Amino acid sequence: MKILLLAWRNVFRHKRRTLITAAAISVGLGAMVMSNTLMNGMDKIASWNIINYETGHFEIFASGYYREEGMFPLDTIIDDPEPLLAIVRDIKGISGVTERVKFPARVNNGIDEFPVLAIGIDLNTEFDVFKTNKTVVTGHFIEKPDDILIGTELANTMEVDEGSVLTIITRDKYGTYNAYDFIVAGLITTEHPLFDANAVIMDINVTQELLSLGKGVTELNIRIRDESKVPDMKEVIQSKVGADYEVYTYKELYASIFEVSGIKRVGQLMIALVVVIIAAVGIINTMLMAVMERIPEIGTLKAMGFQNHDIVKMFLYEGGIIGIFGSLLGCLYGLLLSLYIVFVGIDLSSVFDSSDLGYPLKFVLKGTIDPALVLLVFVFGVIVSVLVTLWPVRRATKLQPVDALRHV
């Protein structure tokens, strides 16, 4: 305990030096905390957008459809969804299931034509799974068969508004071109760039007619009550629907997004780690100075009977105390920046106006603080500070008492 007191007092012999060293390590640690908050927020919003607008927690396809999903193969669809819907509804933990038809189309405003993703939705069950009903900013939701919803960005690009007539052109199941006229019932704004800039939403019955699908749908979308049970529920749903259908979680469907997120996290962590390593060199320097200027004191302590392990302990405590200050400072400023990101957020609208970052989110990015990571960063900072102290302290242990006492 007294050695700790001695270490504590030693740390504050040179307050400015200690402060600078602690501040240096805090930069890297704070960056770690902040970048994690940012990435958590991106992942959370991305997940939210994917689940609430695009996939639900699960999507079910007819076997083989997903492998060619990019081609929208209308010959491997779910021909009769009713029995499947009934099976899924009976599974415990499911809060909603709906059906959708997704297909590529071209939309024509009479002057220009734009490629879009058209989505036919089941108006009776759509809102059991998705939150598309909360996205209409102008006009109203689909009420009539020839109503469609389009994103505000697409509307701006096409220079159309509520009430405008648009022609949807596509090929049906047999490859025959088909075109229907629709009225823009409303404009939607989500935080999902796909929906705002590239999607057209319509009634599933009209979609099935347009594509000659009969009752067929391209997918079922499922929402479950407890999102944390997604991995467990997948097996349950797959076993119930059988091998003719394939069940995918939203994370599997958007694996690339979450993988990119993982890579970005590692990248940010590496940058923060480099900053911490640079700061660790600062700690080594500080501790080396401490050892060098206190050699006669080390000699005195050894003369009193202090052994090498007592001396090492004292310097490790000193490194640890600097580490605790640096880590506290780092976590504190990381948390302050994180709180700003959580409550105020970072406005990404200008970024997304000019480019697509490949992330299903836009507008204001709000972060999510991970308390476990903050704690981990704190512990990491302290451990690094203690470990890097070992090297300069080796000099102190190698000193013979008589040489240390003679040192000027």
Partner 1 sequence: MVEVRDLHKSYKVGKMLFPALRGISTTIGDGEFTAIAGPSGSGKTTLLNIIGCLDVPTKGKVLINNMDTGQLSTKEKAALRKKEIGFVFQTFNLIPVLSAFENVELPLILLDMPAAEKKERVVNILKEVGLEEFIGRRPNEMSGGQQQRVAIARALVKGPSMVLADEPTANLDSTTATEILKLMKELNEKLKTTFVFSTHDFLVMDFATRLIKLRDGKITKDETK
Residues lying near partner 1 in the complex (CB under 8 A) are found at 1-3, 5-6, 9-10, 12-13, 296-297, 299-307, 310, 400-402, 405
Dist. CA 341–CA 338, nearest whole Å? 5
* Residue 188 or 404 having the CB closest to partner 1: 404
* Residue 299 or 392 having the CB closest to partner 1: 299
- What values do phi and psi take at 73, rounded to 5? -70, 105
* Residue 204 or 399 having the CB closest to partner 1: 399
- Could you tell me the smallest distance in angstroms from the CB atom of residue 307 to partner 1? 5
Dist. CA 335–CA 368, nearest whole Å? 11
- Could you tell me the smallest distance in angstroms from the CB atom of residue 1 to partner 1? 8
- Could you tell me the smallest distance in angstroms from the CB atom of residue 320 to partner 1? 17
Angle at 97 between CA 91 and CA 100, to 5 degrees: 145
Closest C-alpha to 399, from 311, 270, 282, 334? 311
- Could you tell me the smallest distance in angstroms from the CB atom of residue 400 to partner 1? 8
* Residue 9 or 140 having the CB closest to partner 1: 9
* Residue 111 or 408 having the CB closest to partner 1: 408
Judge whether 279 and 19 are in contact, CB under 8 Å: no
According to DSSP, residue 91 is labeled: S
Residue-by-residue DSSP string for 211-248: TT-TT-BSEEEEEES-GGGHHHHHHHHHHHH-TTEEEE
- Could you tell me the smallest distance in angstroms from the CB atom of residue 287 to partner 1? 16
Q: Classify 223 in phi/psi space as left (phi over 0), alpha (psi -120 to 50) or beta.
A: beta
Judge whether 217 and 97 are in contact, CB under 8 Å: no
Dist. CA 247–CA 245, nearest whole Å? 7
- Could you tell me the smallest distance in angstroms from the CB atom of residue 2 to partner 1? 4
* Residue 2 or 92 having the CB closest to partner 1: 2
**Three-state SS for 191?**
coil
Buried b (16+ CB within 10 A) or exposed e, 4-24: eebbeebbeeeeebbeebbbb
Q: Classify 299 in phi/psi space as left (phi over 0), alpha (psi -120 to 50) or beta.
A: alpha
- Could you tell me the smallest distance in angstroms from the CB atom of residue 314 to partner 1? 11
* Residue 31 or 311 having the CB closest to partner 1: 311
Dist. CA 220–CA 224, nearest whole Å? 13
- Could you tell me the smallest distance in angstroms from the CB atom of residue 399 to partner 1? 11
* Residue 282 or 299 having the CB closest to partner 1: 299
CA 156 to chain CA centroid, Å, is 29
As a whole number of angstroms, the longest Cα–Cα distance in the chain is 98
- Could you tell me the smallest distance in angstroms from the CB atom of residue 402 to partner 1? 4
* Residue 345 or 401 having the CB closest to partner 1: 401
